[in-house]
Amino acid sequence: MSTDFILPDIGEGIVECEIVEWQVQEGDSVQEDQVVVEVMTDKAVVEIPAKFDGTVTKLYYAKGDIAKVGEPLFAIDAEGTDSAPAQAESKPTPVAPADSQPEEIQAAPAAAAGSANDFILPDIGEGIVECEIVEWRVSEGEQVEEDQVVVEVMTDKAVVEIPAKSDGVVSKLYYAKGDIAKVGAPLFALTGAADATTPAPESAPAPAAASATATPATAEPARAAGGQFEPPQPAADGKVLASPAVRRRAREAGIDLTAVQGSGKKGRILKEDLSAAKASSATTNAAAAPAATSAPAATPATGGKRTEPMRGVRAAMARQMADSVRTIPHFTYAEEFDLTELRALHAKLKAQYAEQGVRLTLMPFFIKAMSLALSEFPIMNAQLNDEATEITYFDDHNIGMAVATKVGLMVPNIKAVQQKSLLEVAEEVNRLTAAAREGKVAQADMKGGTITISNIGVVGGTVTTPIINKPEAAIVALGKVQTLPRFAADGSVVGRDIMTASWSGDHRIIDGATIANFNKRWQQFLEDPMQMLTVMR
């Protein structure tokens, strides 16, 4: 029987794509991962491969047609035998594309009639082929409503909430918390509300067997007798607020998060709360021990170690940084900035706009001043291709901010800074920083950066050698601002607010003089804010 390949929601607001070229014809045999068709979105040309071996029985579109998200693109006979033409002629009823939601993965329709109620983890692009189950928000047998969050998963980009696409009852969770789910495999099964009381038919496929190969061995502790997953236990109030890193620490330490009092915002559990809970548990256990016990005190274990896999954002960062250092010849340039005048201006504006509910930090000034300097030095906003044969210059200044989060380093970027006011930049800084700290940055905010600012000063340090965020050509790290003694024009010693900016540049297209002159212009805007105001559009 033929199986339809459903064009998944790939985010970015994309709801359709154009058929550029079919690489196969109806009746051709294909192998797993063989490219079947090239499609073009408004972002790029994408190759779509076959998910398994088989025979192509139907191409639903011709070259040049527009294919819709949620509709069948082509059909493959998974058993490799030709299907009757009459079976392929009937095109399934299209499913209306879901609205684009930047922080949620949209549901892809089921790939086969036998798993009509399964939520299939869709291909969300970016080379992502798997994700980790962070937290189930529901249990098997629980009633859910359309758009209710069912599960949180972590890719190598961010933590994403996956909602139910219709009302119904959760009949099966195919993975346990901490498992790795594969793109194209069922994530959970949903039974229609009207069928909730109807016994499952005898011929229903056995989900345990279907997921046995996709479920890693680490899921074994989460299985009950009979090989089935135990339903996740919800928190007492229905929800526990904690980051993936905190949840992992809790699992390793055997701490029940539902019994931990969170000290973070809205009751969020922090690493410190786990330490306090562990100490409290140890004190309670010690108090409960018999007072007459004369056993010698246990000697602390030494030489221990633990190994954990690199996953999610941290794994992506590791690959990105290694590739950047391996392929880009870095060179470093550092200079001191006197921010005394800027900080005085910032203090006045900060108080003024705080009354209007706008949080104004120094970062918007750095970003806007950099954009003004980029207009005079376009090479700093350019990128070199991997073969070092072409330089691409970008009109838009998409300036990224490196944000250290609990799930790893993220670099969201503010688009078209050259067209934004200082307050508009400030609003974007606040929005992206909040999203990054939650690990829920939209894919669109992570893509398309042209230059990056890293602020190490918030945690300390003055000078560093930052790694370029490939394929960008430069990155700057801001050190902490210190009040240091400096000589005034009359020879007296005065206190000035000093910060060191440390640059790394791609030496294939940027030389020392260029980065020094660019930095000097950026420095002028920041040390004398009036200069920035005179050229700001």
CA dist., res. 100 & res. 13, Å (int): 5
Cβ-contact 412, 432 below 8 angstroms: yes
Look at 395 and 187; give whichever has higher pLDDT.
Answer: 395
User: Beta strands 493-506 and 474-478: pairing type?
Assistant: antiparallel
Dihedrals phi, psi of 519, to nearest 5 degrees:
-60, -35
- Between 100 and 63, residue with greater pLDDT: 63
Q: Which residue has the higher pLDDT, 266 or 102?
A: 266
What span, in angstroms and rounded, lies between the C-alpha atoms of 89 and 220? 44
Residue-averaged pLDDT of the chain: 77
Of 237 and 518, the one with more pLDDT: 518
Q: What is the CA radius of gyration of the chain?
A: 28
Q: Give percent above pLDDT 90 in the chain.
A: 36
Which of 9-13, 32-36, 130-134, 519-523 is predicted with the least confidence, judged by mean pLDDT?
Answer: 9-13
pLDDT (tens digit, 9 = 90+) per residue, 108-123?
Answer: 433 333 334 788 877 6
d(CA 330, CA 295): 60
pLDDT, tens only, 365-411: 999 999 999 999 999 999 999 999 999 999 999 999 998 877 778 89
pLDDT score, position 201: 36
pLDDT tier, 70 (very low <50, low <70, confident <90, very high otherwise): confident
- Rounded mean pLDDT, 194-203: 38
Q: Give the chain's domains with CATH numbers.
A: 1-100 (2.40.50.100), 244-281 (4.10.320.10), 328-535 (3.30.559.10)
Provide the pLDDT for residue 357: 82
Instruction: From residue 60, give the alpha-carbon distance in Å to each of 5, 19, 22, 44.
Output: 10, 11, 11, 22
Listed range (50-54, 130-134, 146-150, 236-240) with the worst mean pLDDT: 236-240
pLDDT, mean of residues 240-264: 72
From the candidates 53, 167, 507, 528, which is the catalytic residue?
507
Is residue 97 a contact partner of residue 78, using CB atoms and an 8 Å limit?
Answer: no
Residue with more model confidence, 70 or 102: 70
**What is the rounded average pLDDT of the residues 155-174?**
81
What mean pLDDT is predicted for residues 82-102? 36
DSSP state of 508: T
Is 4 assigned a catalytic role?
no
The tens digit of pLDDT for each residue in 303-360 reads: 888 888 777 777 778 888 999 999 999 999 999 999 999 999 999 999 888 888 889 9
DSSP code per residue over 261-289 = PP-SGGG-B-HHHHHHHHHHHHHHHHHHS
- What is the pLDDT at residue 283? 59
Q: Is 511 a catalytic residue?
A: yes
Catalytic position from the list 42, 65, 256, 511: 511
Helix (H, G, I), strand (E, B) or coil at 237: coil
φ, ψ at 250 (rounded to 5°)? -65, -40
User: What pLDDT score was predicted for residue 298?
Assistant: 62
Digit-coded pLDDT (tens) for 489-534: 999 999 999 999 999 999 999 999 999 999 999 999 999 999 888 8
3-state secondary structure of 326: helix
Q: Pull the structure tokens for residue 214.
A: 């996709």
Instruction: Please tell me the predicted confidence (pLDDT) of residue 43.
Output: 54
Query: Could you give phi then psi for residue 479, rounded to 5 degrees?
Result: -80, 175
pTM beyond cutoff 0.75: no
For the sheet with 149-154, list strands across it: 159-163, 149-154, 130-136, 180-182
**More confident: 157 or 333:** 333
> Quick one: how far is CA 307 from the chain centroid?
24
Tell which residue, 516, 526, 508, has the closest CA to residue 371: 526
